[in-house]
């Protein structure tokens, strides 16, 4: 008996020691995201470029600082930081960085593939290496509607000595991609397609402002009149482009000459990121880019306008392991934001307007927080980040994806990040009323910032117990503001079109 007892004790000690070396889960999805299905295992020799984020020691302090310097009347209001100051504030200790780099080296990651930028480390690994180091299994996953194919996993883990220092590694659990808000939905009351343009009639081009929206209508409605920005290189407006949407100079110049003749000499620059492009001769629709760039320039007289075309559809790998060109997704938000935060202060845009987003619950929490923190870094340096709130009302899907399939309202990300200005849509003039497809609500991920408390509490008091349990009363409320989003006139592929959606509102604001 004594020998047996000693054996059991020894076995338990060995088991305890073994468990002590087990990896700890960083992120786990409860199920395959809606609309996606599992495919076959990828070729083990396929190489993937990963991004690893080391936890920032002062991220909470930075977020408080951004709120302070953005609050009129606060002692720090307007005291924006320099790039070097933000980098120094968020730089991890050398001990932590060295520990993470040593772990990568021990897993066979070549130093030649490693890149370091602040608290982010990029590296390349084969599927075989990644599965070993993250204790996971990658598969091909297929998106049923778009036929997109990605290599992803539903969870990944890290050694216990590395786990506390790493916030995320992607691409792993990140399936979704930015979408044009409300794609294919119908505007309920009047049957006007959201994100599906119709050809504008000659009467539309000169109609009264209460029936259509043009730059002159918006300038009069919102008191801009002949307001012009100071001709200063620092007055730069950035417009985001994703999903192979191209800004066409020919359409732009025709639009400006007709609807903004006082700024008919305006132009815009194009910056290509992450293998993106701006194929102005492409026959594909470019209504999103056309709308964004045309109204941004028409309403911001004298400001320099830059179109940031970020690729997210590069080489992907088929089920057979062959590299093919199709609709793969390479974390376009991260690529765009990493480019921007790397810019010298003098080259940053004053405003970044973006009309893309996705349902918040479809975004891994760690990924959403990382993107939101990058927005905070831009805000600390004086960049106003504007996102449209979406065109899906309280949610295109009303079921949770946490395995419980609960009925709930769905907020939109990145509009739900408290460090962006979320803009919703209205229609009508005197009074303006909310559009029934304009998204809004409360974040399930980000708590409500104090600057919203007074107005949101008043709203909740009026709402009472209606819709209790379908939304997070303590979450960040969206949108922050709203403006016209119906019957806009744009020009695309030499044709004037009429279209509706909150995707206009980011550029208008």
Give 177 or 448, the one with higher predicted confidence.
448
Burial of 493 (0-12, 13-18, 19+ CB in 10 A): middle
pLDDT at residue 164 greater than cutoff 90: yes
* Secondary structure of residue 41 in the 3-state scheme: coil
- Which two three-digit tokens encode residue 423? 């803009």
pLDDT tens digits for range 272-324: 887 776 776 776 667 778 888 999 999 888 889 999 988 764 333 333 334 33
Q: How far is CA 87 from CA 120, 317, 341, 366, in A?
A: 11, 35, 9, 20
Whole-number pLDDT of residue 395:
64
Say if residue 123's pLDDT is above 90: yes
Range from 315-329, 385-399, 492-506 carrying the lowest mean pLDDT? 315-329
CA–CA gap between residue 382 and residue 369 (Å, rounded): 20
Lowest-confidence pick of 39-53, 219-233, 494-508:
494-508
Does the domain at 179-508 match CATH 3.40.50.300? Answer given as no
Radius of gyration of the chain (CA): 25
- Angle CA(159)–CA(176)–CA(24) in degrees, nearest 5? 10
The whole-angstrom distance between residue 357's C-alpha and the CA centroid of its chain comes to 6
Estimate to the nearest angstrom the gap between the alpha carbon of 401 and the chain centroid.
20
**In this structure, how many other beta carbons lie within 10 angstroms of the beta carbon of residue 66?**
23
The DSSP H or E segment spanning 422 is: strand 421-427
Domain ranges of the chain: 20-55+92-170, 61-89, 179-508
| Strand-pair category, 304-310 with 236-241 | parallel
Q: HSE on the CB side for 9, CA within 13 Å?
A: 6
In the chain, what is the straight-line distance between the N-terminal and C-terminal CA atoms, in Å? 79
Residue listed under structure tokens 């800004």: 247
Note the pLDDT of residue 126.
96
Token pair listed for 178 = 């930015």
Q: What is the pLDDT of residue 18?
A: 42
Cβ within 8 Å of residue 212, ≥6 positions away: 200, 204, 487, 488, 489, 498
Confidence of residue 245 (pLDDT cuts 50, 70, 90): confident
What is the pTM assigned to this prediction?
Answer: 0.87
Element of type H or E holding 434: strand 433-434
Q: How far apart are CA 150 and CA 326, in angstroms?
A: 10
Tens digits of residue pLDDT in 353-395: 998 888 898 888 999 999 999 999 999 999 999 999 888 877 6
CA 507 to CA 218: how far, in whole Å?
A: 12
Residue-wise burial string across 203-238, b where 16 or more C-beta atoms lie within 10 A, e elsewhere? ebeebeeeebbbbbbbbebeeeeeeebeeeeebbbb
């Amino acid at each position: 008996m004594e020998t047996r007892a000693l054996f059991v004790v020894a076995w338990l000690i060995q088991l305890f020691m073994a468990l002590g070396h087990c990896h700890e889960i960083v992120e786990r999805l409860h199920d395959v995201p809606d609309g996606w299905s599992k495919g076959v295992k990828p070729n083990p020799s396929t190489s993937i470029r990963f991004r690893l984020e080391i936890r920032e020691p002062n991220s909470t302090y930075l977020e408080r600082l951004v709120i302070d310097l953005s609050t009129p009347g606060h002692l720090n209001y307007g005291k924006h930081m320099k790039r070097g100051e933000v980098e120094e504030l968020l730089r991890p200790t050398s001990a932590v960085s060295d520990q993470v780099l040593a772990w990568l080296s021990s897993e066979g990651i070549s130093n030649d593939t490693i890149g370091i930028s602040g608290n982010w480390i990029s590296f390349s690994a084969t599927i075989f290496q990644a599965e070993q180091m993250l204790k996971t299994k990658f598969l091909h996953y297929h998106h049923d509607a778009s036929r997109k194919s990605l290599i992803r996993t539903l969870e990944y883990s890290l050694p216990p000595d590395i786990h506390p220092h790493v916030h995320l590694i992607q691409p792993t659990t990140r399936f979704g991609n930015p979408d044009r808000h409300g794609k294919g939905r119908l505007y309920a009351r009047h049957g006007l397609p959201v994100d599906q343009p119709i050809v504008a009639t000659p009467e539309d081009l000169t109609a009264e402002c209460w029936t259509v929206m043009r730059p002159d209508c918006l300038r009069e409605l919102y008191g801009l009149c002949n307001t012009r920005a100071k001709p200063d290189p620092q007055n730069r407006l950035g417009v985001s482009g994703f999903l192979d949407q191209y800004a066409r100079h020919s359409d732009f110049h025709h639009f400006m000459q007709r609807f903004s003749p006082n700024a008919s000499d305006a132009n815009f620059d194009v910056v290509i990121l992450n293998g993106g492009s701006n194929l102005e001769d492409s026959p594909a629709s470019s209504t999103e880019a056309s709308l964004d760039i045309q109204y941004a320039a028409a309403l911001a007289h004298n400001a320099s306008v830059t179109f940031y075309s970020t690729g997210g559809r590069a080489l992907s790998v088929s089920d057979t392991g062959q590299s093919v060109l199709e609709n793969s997704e390479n974390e376009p938000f991260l690529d765009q934001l990493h480019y921007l935060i790397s810019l010298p202060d003098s080259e940053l845009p004053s405003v970044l307007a973006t009309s893309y987003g996705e349902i918040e619950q479809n975004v891994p929490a760690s990924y959403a927080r990382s993107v939101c923190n990058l927005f905070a870094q831009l805000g600390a340096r004086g960049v106003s980040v504007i996102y449209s709130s979406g065109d899906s009302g309280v949610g295109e899907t009303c079921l949770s994806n946490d395995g419980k399939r609960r009925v709930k309202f769905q907020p939109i990300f990145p509009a739900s990040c408290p460090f962006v200005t979320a803009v919703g849509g209205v229609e009508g003039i005197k009074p303006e009323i909310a559009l029934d497809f304009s998204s809004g609500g409360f974040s399930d991920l980000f708590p409500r910032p104090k600057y919203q408390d007074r107005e949101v509490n008043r709203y909740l008091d009026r709402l009472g117990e209606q819709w209790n349990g379908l939304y997070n009363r303590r979450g960040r409320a969206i949108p922050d503001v709203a403006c016209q989003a119906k019957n806009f006139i744009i020009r695309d592929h030499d044709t004037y079109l009429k279209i509706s959606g909150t995707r206009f509102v980011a550029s208008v604001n």
